[in-house]
Amino acid sequence: MEWLKEILEKAEIKDGKLDVDAVMNAAQKEFPKHAVPKADFNAKAEELKTANATITELKKSNGDNKELQTKIGNYETEIANLKKNAENTAKNYALRDSLAKQGVLDPDYLI
């Protein structure tokens, strides 16, 4: 609002009256330099509302994402455990087969 203050300070007073027309002309020339058109302001305000709504949606989605990440972690752990069990089972069968070829009658007692 400094620009308006400068215009008013420079205003001429003739015969005890303010030269309103000169002040208005100066204000009309300076106003566009310091103000935003209503359409631009409304467009930016609408963009801000949209951005805030998007942020809110992303926050909601992020909560679900955290749950999904936890589930994925649990499934990865379960898969790793199942792989270990499968490897152990394969080793046991290979060992039993090898012991059976060596002539062991009951390889389960040795394992």
User: Would you list the domain boundaries of the chain?
Assistant: 1-35, 37-111
Over residues 87-106, the mean pLDDT reads 86
pLDDT number for residue 55: 85
Helices of type H across 2-101: 2-10, 20-34, 38-101
Query: Model pTM?
Result: 0.41
Does 25 have pLDDT greater than 80? yes
pLDDT number for residue 48: 92
Does 63 have pLDDT greater than 70? no
CB 24 within 8 A of CB 4: no
Side-chain half-sphere of 67: how many Cα atoms within 13 Å? Answer: 5
Q: What's the token pair of residue 62?
A: 């992020």
Q: What per-residue string of b and e applies to 29-51 under the rule 16 or more CB within 10 Å gives b?
A: eeeeeeeeeeeeeeeeeeeeeee
